[in-house]
Structure formats: C-alpha cells, structure tokens
C-alpha cells in the first residue's frame, strides 16, 4: 500500500484556557526582584483561539471585545512565541496569527501567556516541526512563568516563579463565575504593592523576612477529593490585599458575589478580575445575576473547569 504524505496545513486553530489561581502564596522579594511562589493553577473553559496561517512575514490580528488593548507588534506574546519556536528550528517566523480573544486583558487570568502557549502549538503544527512536549515546555518557560501551565491545563502546582509544574488531580468539575473589572492591573505594580504593604506592616518584604511559600495541604486534598465546599474555604491569594489596595472598589465586587450565594471568592492572580466558586450550575447562574445587578463590574462570565491546555481544534489542508 502506498501512503501519500498529508498536504501541509493551510491553517491550524488552537484553543487555550484562561487560569485562576486557587492558591497564590508569595514569598519574599529575591535579590533579582522576582518572588518565589507556591501557585496552584486551575484552567477554566473561558479561553482564546489562535489560528496560524502561512504568511510572507510575521503578522498579528486580534478580534474580540478587548481587542483594542492587545499589542499587534513584536511585543505581543504570541508573536514572541512564534519567533522563539522559529529560531529553535532555524527557520523564519513567516506566519499570520489571528487571536480570537475572549480572556479579559490584564485581568489576572494570564491571557497573554495563554496566547503564547497557543501560538507555540499552532506554529509547531503548521510548520511540521514536531517539537517534543518537554522542549515546548522549556520554550514556554522562557516566554513567561504562566506560559507552561497554559500548555498543560488541568490543575497544577507551580513552584519557582510558577514555571516548575507538577500536575494535580481534581476530583470534580467546578463551577466558576468571573467578574471582569473596568481596566486592568499591571502584574509588576501589584507585586510592588504587596512588598510595600509588607514593609509598611513591619514584617519586611525580602526572602529572609517572609516564610517560604508552601502549598496548602487542605486545598490540595479538597481539589483531589472534588470537595467544592472545602476548596471554597481554602481559596487564598497573597496578592489580594495589594490588588484591593490599588483598586478598593474590588471589595464591593467580592461582597456582591458572596451576597449572591458564592461558596468562596478571591481576586484572580494579580487581579482585577474576581473569581467566585459556586456549588453547582444553578447557583453559578444566581451568583452571576447578583453580580450583574450589583453594578460593581463591567461583565460577568460563567464557566467551569478544569479543562485541557492548548490543543488543536481545527486543521485545514
Ligand atoms: P498575568 O496574570 O499573566 O501577569 P494578565 O492576565 O494580568 O497577566 P494579560 O492579559 O496577559 O494580563 O495582559 C498583560 C499585558 O500584556 C497587556 O496589557 C498587553 O499589553 C500585553 N500583551 C502582550 N501580548 C498579549 C496578548 N496576546 N494578549 C493580551 N495581552 C497581551
């Protein structure tokens, strides 16, 4: 039998999830300015789609409600990912990447990192470079500390700056509601505010003053058991006080979700998106209605997780 080699793809589309940190423990500021983290990532069904097609030169286009806030030049994380993968394989990054953006921009849900992960997977398939997963994960870590998790998805414990990942079992599908704020928060600014608050409180902000960040065993047990109530009780984010200090109105959003019946809540990553854990789909709808009626956020999104990381959804030949 003769096997005809498949024609090279004309386009590859990859779907990639946003993340919420169900635990974000922040250590002291290291001499290099970074902070060690114990970061429990959780991938949710809210996501972006990146489509790669051949082009004469690297080009980015973006659609979606926040499209005007996304850079189209070489600073776009998806463009950086395409360049890095091309360099690795000694080729030119001649690709058009279209980002259908649904993840809130600068919202603490790692949307840029998600697009970088999706671009790695899409370009790898378009170019037929067949990069092994461990190499993709190394390239992802070079691009940013949240990028490797967007490749893996599911739930995972991130150590170091968040890029050293250990997948975690999750015993049940979890219902989430996200309150999207007007405008974003800069992640470096939120870390600086966290350090400032620690200094102001007299505890100090350096590694010798702050205990090493550790995952919470109760949270990991709750995840593995699929015990939503225990998970809700264990949600923590060491950046939350800093995000609230920079954006005090987020306290009203958190209260509105709690009043609407959320089991637990927290600021997502560096914020300003707020995440609410609901008992079931019906309760998630009630929390969403309460948040929408409260006027304390720009948009409300109902979703669930965990879901897989960046994966191909369509190949056109
Ligand atoms: P993180 O929590 O990973 O720090 P975030 O979720 O708060 O990030 P992003 O949505 O990743 O924030 O956007 C942060 C900034 O990155 C934006 O303000 C934008 O200027 C820049 N950026 C670069 N590439 C992208 C991209 N593909 N999508 C969104 N923002 C991008």
Q: What is the extent of the structural domain holding 109?
A: 11-169
Each residue's pLDDT tens digit, 79-102: 999 999 999 999 999 999 999 999
295 falls within a domain: yes
Last residue of a domain, one of 140, 169, 198: 169
242 falls within a domain: yes
pTM: 0.95
Shared domain for 185 and 255, answered yes or no, is yes
In ligand 1, the atom with minimum distance to the C-alpha of 77 is: 24
What is the CB-side half-sphere exposure of residue 67 using CA atoms within 13 A?
11
Last residue of a domain, one of 119, 150, 169: 169
313 falls within a domain: no
How far apart are the C-alpha atoms of 293 and 225, rounded to whole Å? 34
316 falls within a domain: no
Distance 150 CA to ligand 1 centre (A): 13
6 falls within a domain: no
Whether residue 39 has its Cβ less than 6 Å from ligand 1: no
How far apart are the C-alpha atoms of 98 and 118, rounded to whole Å? 11
Last residue of a domain, one of 122, 141, 169: 169
Residue 235 · residue 277 · CB < 8 Å: yes
Shared domain for 131 and 266, answered yes or no, is no
Each residue's pLDDT tens digit, 17-58: 999 999 999 999 999 999 999 999 999 999 999 999 999 999
Each residue's pLDDT tens digit, 271-293: 999 999 999 999 999 999 999 99
Whether residue 108 has its Cβ less than 6 Å from ligand 1: yes
Which residue minimizes the CA distance to atom 8 of ligand 1?
Answer: 110
Collect all residues with Cβ–Cβ distance below 8 Å to 200 and sequence separation of at least 6: none
Just list the catalytic residues.
Answer: 19, 146
Whether residue 146 has its Cβ less than 6 Å from ligand 1: yes
Collect all residues with Cβ–Cβ distance below 8 Å to 144 and sequence separation of at least 6: 77, 112, 113, 116
**Count of domains in the chain?**
2
Closest CA to 140 of 155, 154, 123: 123
**Residue 69 pLDDT level (bands cut at 50, 70, 90):** very high
311 falls within a domain: no
Residue of 111, 149, 243 with the most ligand 1 atoms within 8 Å of its CB, for mutation: 111
- Would you give the DSSP letter of residue 68? G
Shared domain for 156 and 179, answered yes or no, is no
Q: What pLDDT does 83 receive? A: 98
Shared domain for 92 and 25, answered yes or no, is yes
| Separation of CA 92 from chain center | 28
Shared domain for 118 and 261, answered yes or no, is no
Collect all residues with Cβ–Cβ distance below 8 Å to 58 and sequence separation of at least 6: 74, 79, 82, 83, 93, 94, 95, 97
Shared domain for 17 and 88, answered yes or no, is yes
5 falls within a domain: no
Shared domain for 159 and 281, answered yes or no, is no
Each residue's pLDDT tens digit, 212-271: 999 999 999 999 999 999 999 999 999 999 999 999 999 999 999 999 999 999 999 999
Residue of 18, 46, 66, 106 with the most ligand 1 atoms within 8 Å of its CB, for mutation: 106
Whether residue 148 has its Cβ less than 6 Å from ligand 1: no
Closest CA to 270 of 194, 210, 195, 169: 194
Residue 144 · residue 113 · CB < 8 Å: yes
CATH number at residue 22: 3.30.230.10
Which residue minimizes the CA distance to atom 29 of ligand 1?
Answer: 112
Shared domain for 145 and 244, answered yes or no, is no
312 falls within a domain: no
């Amino acid at each position: 039998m003769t096997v005809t080699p498949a024609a090279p793809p004309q386009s590859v589309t990859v779907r990639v999830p946003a993340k919420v940190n169900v635990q974000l423990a922040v250590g002291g500021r290291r001499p290099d300015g970074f902070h060690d983290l114990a970061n429990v990532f959780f991938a949710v069904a809210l996501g972006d789609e990146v489509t790669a097609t051949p082009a004469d030169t690297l080009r980015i286009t973006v659609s979606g409600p926040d499209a005007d806030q996304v850079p189209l030049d070489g600073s776009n994380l998806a463009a950086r990912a395409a360049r890095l993968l091309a360099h690795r394989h000694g080729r030119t990054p001649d690709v058009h990447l279209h980002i259908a953006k649904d993840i809130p921009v600068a919202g603490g849900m790692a949307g840029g990192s998600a697009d970088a992960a999706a671009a790695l997977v899409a370009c790898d398939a378009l170019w037929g470079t067949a990069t092994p997963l461990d190499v993709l994960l190394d390239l992802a870590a070079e691009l940013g500390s949240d990028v490797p998790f967007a490749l893996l998805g599911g739930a995972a414990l991130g150590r170091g700056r968040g890029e050293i990942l250990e997948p975690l079992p999750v015993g049940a599908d979890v219902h989430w509601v996200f309150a999207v704020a007007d405008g974003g928060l800069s992640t470096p600014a939120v870390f600086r505010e966290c350090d400032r608050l620690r200094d102001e409180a007299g505890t100090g902000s350096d590694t010798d003053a702050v205990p090493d960040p550790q995952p919470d065993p109760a949270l990991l047990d709750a995840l593995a058991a699929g015990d939503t109530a225990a998970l809700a009780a264990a949600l923590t984010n060491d950046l939350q006080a800093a995000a609230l200090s920079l954006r005090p109105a987020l306290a009203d959003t958190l209260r509105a979700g709690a009043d609407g019946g959320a089991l637990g809540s927290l600021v997502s990553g560096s914020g300003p998106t707020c995440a609410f854990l609901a008992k079931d789909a019906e309760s998630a709808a009630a929390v969403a209605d309460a948040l929408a009626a409260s006027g304390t956020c720009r948009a409300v999104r109902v979703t669930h997780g965990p879901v897989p990381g960046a994966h191909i959804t369509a190949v056109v030949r």
